[in-house]
């Protein structure tokens, strides 16, 4: 402690009008005061005395300094402005100078006593301490607000991301950001075994601001021998100041091979678990090298020494706050992915069930889905016409894909014999017709044999017997020709002129069965079936087939698709509607038909035309199929712009048509 004059008599000999006397006396009093024994009292200038305590100090100066020698404060201006120094005036400066004074804390009498100086100086220290606490609280509050804001933004980012890989990237990026980590990795726990040690940790990705390297996924056992495994098992965070010098007794070690390979120096580390709602570990965040300056890259060992500091409690608290949000977000993403796979599996199984009922159309639903989604993408690329600017989100395309895959699901409500009916008569019906003709031939044969025996008993001439044989042969040939006509008419082709009349005539012909009863060669029902002008279905059967669209809508409407895919039933249930209102089941007009259904109509008709030969039709060549689409446009069945886009984009080239 530095003192001024040691004798009061020496001070008393100085003129009291001199400001130096006031400074001398203040220096003496402060230096001699035992209450300031832990303070440093110095005289940096003849007109100033400073009392320092820690990082703050009080300046004691005569009031005349404010009026005539203000420059003596120049070395202290920054400290006075910052609030780490304050002034105690000996005497009162004039008002103008008093108002301009910086850092003033108190005014004493010009020749203040020990107690007066003590109170003034101590009050100045108390005031600076209070101001420091207030500023610290303000900084802490600002930091808290900043961190809270960042956590809110992070929460928004991770809760809106559903793709697991992108979500993990966001979680790791935000974790590094709020803790100042240079690098980090993230792991996901895999396996359903109730015993955690039988599960695995999958390394998903890593990030590093200082090094660029390729990282591939790999798995390792959930084991306490690795820090990530230890954190996953114990479901609690771990902080290590330097992984090269692990604390004694640590169950885990650190593999330096990565550092040796890349030249990177791993030092401080912080690991935190990602927990599910039930508290189960589903992942681990591993942060590496907390930096003092987030913009600095750690390129050398010296950079690590200079920049890397241990992760502190605040970093751990922030990471655990984020990890609690991230764990729920990751669990939601995993559950969402599982629901997606389950829904996808249900749709695929449903398609397989449809195709097993009607093997002749195998692959139709899958091809229609590919064609429809392909057309939707082509519509997005289109820059002319009414569909310019149309866009489909990822969920829209998935919704369209599901609707297309299930557009024929209602066929499960159609009788299988109708669904797979390849010819106009069912096989058992044709067998009955053949058996009936066989009986007619046999009856004819028996009748002619009986007549022949009767003629022979009466001694008929050979010429009469020959004539009878010829008559029998001619009649038999007529029956066989009639059967051939029936078999030909049974094919699902368009009947030629005159064949309708022939079938109707056969319906009027009869024969005598073995019991002597007269029977028709063809029943009215068989005549009606064989008289079908196009295809193989009767009007009631055709209506039954068409009812599959209604069944599709009713079935799909019962499935809780949720908001995301809420239109699946409507889209699938409208694919047989036509622009001019002649479609089914609801006879919707163009403006009432969903765009997705219009696209599906184009794909459905195109695939029906170009699909491999079926029992009731041959595959149509590509050019002819496109011509037929043009005819459908002219008949106001299909949307002309969608057909144009379909043809211009050659949507069919992306799939194997005719398969």
- Residue 330 near residue 166, CB atoms below 8 Å: no
pTM: 0.64
Determine the Cα–Cα distance for residues 586 and 573; give it in Å rounded to an integer: 9
- Residue 403 near residue 568, CB atoms below 8 Å: yes
- pLDDT below 70 — which residues of the chain? 1-17, 95-102, 136, 138-149, 151, 154, 157, 494-498, 613-617, 656-659
Determine the Cα–Cα distance for residues 174 and 48; give it in Å rounded to an integer: 53
Residue 25's nearest CA partner among 48, 2, 5 is 5
Give the Å distances, CA to CA, from 349 to 296, 367, 405, 416, 439.
Answer: 55, 16, 11, 18, 48
180 Cβ neighbours under 8 A, 6+ residues apart? 290, 291, 292, 294, 315
187 Cβ neighbours under 8 A, 6+ residues apart? 201, 202, 203, 204, 228, 232, 283, 284, 286
Residue 128's nearest CA partner among 65, 61, 54, 63 is 54
Determine the Cα–Cα distance for residues 165 and 328; give it in Å rounded to an integer: 15
- Residue 423 near residue 490, CB atoms below 8 Å: yes
Q: Round to the nearest angstrom and report the end-to-end CA distance of the chain.
A: 102
Residue 65's nearest CA partner among 116, 104, 123 is 104
Helices (DSSP H) in 382-412: which residue ranges?
394-405
Q: Quick one: which H or E segment has residue 96?
A: helix 95-100
Residue 311's Cα: distance from chain center in Å? 33
Beta strand segments in 454-551, E? 510-512, 518-520
Beta bridge partners of 104: 87
Residue 274's nearest CA partner among 204, 354, 183 is 204
Residue 570: burial class (beta carbons within 10 Å; 0-12, 13-18, 19+)? middle
Determine the Cα–Cα distance for residues 365 and 358; give it in Å rounded to an integer: 12
Determine the Cα–Cα distance for residues 547 and 522; give it in Å rounded to an integer: 29
- Residue 424 near residue 490, CB atoms below 8 Å: yes
Residue 205: burial class (beta carbons within 10 Å; 0-12, 13-18, 19+)? middle
Give the Å distances, CA to CA, from 560 to 162, 354, 480, 481, 568.
Answer: 20, 21, 59, 58, 10
Please tell me the predicted confidence (pLDDT) of residue 533.
81
Determine the Cα–Cα distance for residues 118 and 125; give it in Å rounded to an integer: 11
Please tell me the predicted confidence (pLDDT) of residue 531.
86
Determine the Cα–Cα distance for residues 658 and 609; give it in Å rounded to an integer: 9
Interior angle at CA 170, CA 168 and CA 176, nearest 5: 105
Burial track 402-419 (b if 16+ CB lie within 10 A, e otherwise): bbbbbbbbbbbebeeebb
Please tell me the predicted confidence (pLDDT) of residue 600.
97
- Residue 81 near residue 74, CB atoms below 8 Å: no
Q: Quick one: which H or E segment has residue 203?
A: strand 200-208
97 Cβ neighbours under 8 A, 6+ residues apart? 66, 67
Residues of the chain by 3-state class (helix, strand, coil), percent to 5: 55, 15, 30
Residue 1's nearest CA partner among 29, 35, 39 is 39
Determine the Cα–Cα distance for residues 188 and 274; give it in Å rounded to an integer: 9
How many of the other CB atoms lie within 10 Å of CB of 601? 27
Beta bridge partners of 339: none
CA dihedral sign, ordered 443, 445, 450, 451: positive
DSSP state of 71: G
Q: Which residue is listed with tokens 């050398």?
A: 300
Determine the Cα–Cα distance for residues 316 and 373; give it in Å rounded to an integer: 48
Beta bridge partners of 111: none
Q: What's the 3-state SS for 566-592?
A: CCHHHHHCCCCCCCECCCCCCCCEHHH
Beta strand segments in 333-439, E? none
487 sits in the region (left: phi over 0; alpha: psi -120 to 50; else beta) called: alpha
- Residue 85 near residue 76, CB atoms below 8 Å: yes
Please tell me the predicted confidence (pLDDT) of residue 232.
93
Please tell me the predicted confidence (pLDDT) of residue 278.
87
Q: Which residue is listed with tokens 């029992």?
A: 615
Determine the Cα–Cα distance for residues 426 and 290; give it in Å rounded to an integer: 80
């Amino acid at each position: 402690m530095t003192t001024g004059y040691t004798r009061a008599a020496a001070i008393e000999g100085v003129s009291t009008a001199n400001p130096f006397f006031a400074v001398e006396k203040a220096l003496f009093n402060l230096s001699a005061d035992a209450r300031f024994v832990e303070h440093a009292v110095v005289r940096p200038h003849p007109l100033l005395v400073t009392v320092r305590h820690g990082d703050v100090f009080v300046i004691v100066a005569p009031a005349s300094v404010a009026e005539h020698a203000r420059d003596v404060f120049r070395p202290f201006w920054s400290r006075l402005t910052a609030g780490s120094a304050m002034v105690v005036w000996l005497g009162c400066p004039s008002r103008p100078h008093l108002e301009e004074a910086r850092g003033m804390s108190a005014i004493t009498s010009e020749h203040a006593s020990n107690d007066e100086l003590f109170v003034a100086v101590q009050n100045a220290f108390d005031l600076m301490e209070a101001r420091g606490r207030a500023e610290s609280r303000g900084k802490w509050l600002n930091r808290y607000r900043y961190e809270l804001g960042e956590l809110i933004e992070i929460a928004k980012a991770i809760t809106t991301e559903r793709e697991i890989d992108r979500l993990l990237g966001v979680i790791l990026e935000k974790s590094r950001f709020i803790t100042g980590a240079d690098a980090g990795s993230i792991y996901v726990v895999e396996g359903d075994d109730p015993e955690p040690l039988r599960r695995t940790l999958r390394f998903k990705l890593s990030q590093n601001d200082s090094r660029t390297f390729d990282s591939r996924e790999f798995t390792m056992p959930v084991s306490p021998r690795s820090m990530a495994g230890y954190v996953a098992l114990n479901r609690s965070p771990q902080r290590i100041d330097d992984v090269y010098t692990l604390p004694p007794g640590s169950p885990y070690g650190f593999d330096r091979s990565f550092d040796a390979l890349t030249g990177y120096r791993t030092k401080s580390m912080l690991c935190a678990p990602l927990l599910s709602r039930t508290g189960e570990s589903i992942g681990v965040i591993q942060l590496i090298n907390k930096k003092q300056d987030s913009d600095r890259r750690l390129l050398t060992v010296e950079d690590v020494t200079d920049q890397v500091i241990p992760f502190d409690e605040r970093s751990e608290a922030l990471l655990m706050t984020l990890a609690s949000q991230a764990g729920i977000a990751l669990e939601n993403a995993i559950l969402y992915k599982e629901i997606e796979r389950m829904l996808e599996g249900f749709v695929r199984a449903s398609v397989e069930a449809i195709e097993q009922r009607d093997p002749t159309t195998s692959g139709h639903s899958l091809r229609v889905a590919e064609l429809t989604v392909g057309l939707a993408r082509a519509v997005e690329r289109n820059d002319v016409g009414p569909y310019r600017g149309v866009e489909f989100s990822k969920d829209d395309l998935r919704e369209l894909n599901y609707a297309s895959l299930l557009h024929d699901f209602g066929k499960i409500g159609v009788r299988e014999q109708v669904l797979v009916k390849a010819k106009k008569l069912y096989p058992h019906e044709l067998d009955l017709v053949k058996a009936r003709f066989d009986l007619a031939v046999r009856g004819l044969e028996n009748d002619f044999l009986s007549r022949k025996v009767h003629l022979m008993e009466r001694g008929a001439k050979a010429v009469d017997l020959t004539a009878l044989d010829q008559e029998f042969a001619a009649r038999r040939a007529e029956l066989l020709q009639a059967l051939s006509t029936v078999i030909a008419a049974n094919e699902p082709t368009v009947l030629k002129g005159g064949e309708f009349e022939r079938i109707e005539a056969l319906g009027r012909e009869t024969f005598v069965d073995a019991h002597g009863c007269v029977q028709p060669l063809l029943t009215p029902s068989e005549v009606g079936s064989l008289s079908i002008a196009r295809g193989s279905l009767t009007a009631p059967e055709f209506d039954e087939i068409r009812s599959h669209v209604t069944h599709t809508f009713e079935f799909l409407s019962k499935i809780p698709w949720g908001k995301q895919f809420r239109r699946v039933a409507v889209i699938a249930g409208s694919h047989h509607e036509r622009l001019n209102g002649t479609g089914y089941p609801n006879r919707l007009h163009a403006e009432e038909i969903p765009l997705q259904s219009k696209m599906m109509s184009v794909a459905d008709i195109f695939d029906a035309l170009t699909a491999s030969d079926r029992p009731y039709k041959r595959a149509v060549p590509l050019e002819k199929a496109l011509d037929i689409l043009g005819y459908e446009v002219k008949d106001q069945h299909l949307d002309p712009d969608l057909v144009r886009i379909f043809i211009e984009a050659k949507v069919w080239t992306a799939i194997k048509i005719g398969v």
